[in-house]
Amino acid sequence: MLVIPSTNKCPSIYQGIFSNPYFIEKLILIIYSLIFTIGFIGNIMTIFIIIYNTHLRTPTNYYLLNLAVSDLMMLMCNLPLEMLEIYNREWPLSIIFCKLRNICAEFFTCSSILTILAFTCERYFTIVHPIHFHRLSHFRRAQNIIIIIWLISIGFSLPLGLSYEIEINSSIISNNLSTIVFINNNTKLIQINSLDKDITNSCKSCIPKKSLKKILSIIIIITSFCFFYFPMIIIGAIYLFIGKALRHVNKNEIYSNQIEISTSSLSNNGINIKKYTDNNSSHSGLSNKDVQDRQQQQQQQQQQINSYSWLKMRARCQARKVVVKTLVAVVIAFFVCYAPLYLQRLLLAIITLYSNFNFELSLLSNFMAYLYVISGITFYFGSVINPILYNVISNKYRRAYCDLFHCRLKHKKKLNNQIIFQINHSKKQSIMLNINQS
C-alpha cells in the first residue's frame, strides 16, 4: 500500500505508473538538478568563449551562440518551475508564471529548431555556392536571420502560452490500486479499479483552457510537423548534399593544388636554367660544385613551398570537415533529445481529438506515462549536450574551454609583459631620436 507523505496533500504524478512513485520523484529531481548545474555552466562558458575569442566570431558560431542562449534560458525559465511542480505535486505559483512557463518553453524550442535550420542552410550555401553567398555581409546576415527567428518564435509561442490557465482538480486517493497519470501538464487520466476508503483533495494544475483544447490539439499537430518533422527532414537532406559537395570540393582542391605545384616547379626550373646560364656567362669563375649546391638549395626551397601549400590545402579541408561534423552532431543530438517530446505531444493531440482522453487500453496509458517521463528528461538534457559535443569534436572549442579554465592568468601575464615591452621599446625609440637630433 502506498502512503502519501503528510507534507503534500496531492498524489504523486507517478502514482500507479511505478511501484515506488516517491522514489522516482526524488530521482527525477536529482537528475534535473544535475542537468541544470551542468547545462548552466556549459552554456555560460560557450557564450563567453564565442564573445571573447575573436577567432570564433564567425556567422556559424553566431548561430551556435543563439542556440546556447536558448538552451540557457530554457534551463533558467522552465526547469526550476518543473522541479517545483514535481516537488509540490501541484502547480504552486500564480497564473502569470503558468503562462510564462509555457510561453518560454514554446519560444525557446521553436528558436532552437529554426536556428539549426538556419546554420544548416548557411553551411550549404557557403560550401556549394561560395561566390554568390560571399557578396552579402556575413555577420549582418546572421544577425538579421536571428532577429527573424526570434520574431517567428514569439509569434508562435504567445497564442499557445496565453491559452493556459490554472484549474483546481479533485484528486481521489484510495487505499486500493489506482492509476493517476499527468500527461504534458495538460491532462490527468484517472483509472480506479476499486475504492474502499477515499480521500478527496483539491490540487491545482497548469493546463490549457477546456474550451480551446480541440483547437490547440489541431495547432499542436500542425506545428509539430512544421517546426520539427519537416525541418528535420529538410536538414537531413541538406547535409546529404553538403557531404557530396564537400567530396567534390576537396577533390577539385587537391587536383588544382597538384597542377599548381607542377606548373610552379616547371617555371622555377626554367628560371633556374636561365639563372644557371646567366651565372655561367657572368661568373665563369664559379666551379660546377658551387652551381650544383645552389641548384640543390633552390630545389629544397621549392619542395618546402610545395609541401607548405599542400599542408595549407589539407588544413582547409580538415577545418571544413570539423565544422560540418560539429553541426551534424548538434542536429543528431537535437533530434534524439526532442523526438520523444514531439511524439508525446503528437499522440496526445490525436487522442484529444478522437477519444476525449478516455483510455480504454491500459497498455497505451502506460506507454504515454513512460513517454512523459522519458521526454521530460531528454528534453532538458538537450540543453546540456551541445557544450559537451563542442569539446569532443572541435579542437578550437576545446582549446578555448581550456583557456577559459586554466590559461586566463597566464594570458593576463602575457598581455602585461607585452605592454611593458611596448612601453620600453617606445622609450628607447624616443631616446634614440633625441640623441640623433642633438
Instruction: Tell me the pLDDT tens digit for each residue of 386-433.
Output: 999 888 888 888 888 887 776 554 544 455 555 554 555 555 555 454
Question: Counting runs of H as helices and runs of E as strands, what totals does the chain give?
Answer: 13, 4
Average pLDDT value for the chain: 75
For the residues 370-377, what does the mean pLDDT come to? 90
Q: Measured between alpha carbons, how far is 367 from 350 in angstroms, rounded to an integer?
A: 15
pLDDT for 108: 94
pLDDT for 65: 93
Three-class secondary structure of residue 330 per DSSP: helix
* pLDDT tens readout for residues 51-96: 888 888 888 889 999 999 999 999 999 999 999 998 888 888 889 9
Closest alpha carbon to 226 in 108, 354, 114: 114
* Range from 203-217, 255-269, 381-395 carrying the lowest mean pLDDT: 255-269
pLDDT for 288: 60
What are residue 265's phi and psi, to 5 degrees? -70, -40
pLDDT for 3: 40
* pLDDT tens readout for residues 263-316: 555 455 554 555 545 554 554 454 565 555 565 665 555 555 555 555 555 666
For the residues 317-338, what does the mean pLDDT come to? 83
Indicate the fold that domain 21-412 takes in CATH.
Answer: Rhopdopsin 7-helix transmembrane proteins (1.20.1070)
* pLDDT tens readout for residues 341-352: 999 999 888 888
pLDDT for 361: 56
Q: Which amino acid is at 130?
A: P
195 DSSP 8-state letter:
-
pLDDT for 422: 55
- Whole-model pTM? 0.73
Domain extent listing, the chain: 21-412
Which three three-digit cell numbers place residue 403?
Answer: 583557456
Number of neighbouring beta carbons within 10 Å of residue 59: 19
**Which of the two residues, 303 and 111, has the higher pLDDT score?**
111
The DSSP bridge pattern shows strands 187-192 and 178-183 to be: antiparallel
pLDDT for 307: 54
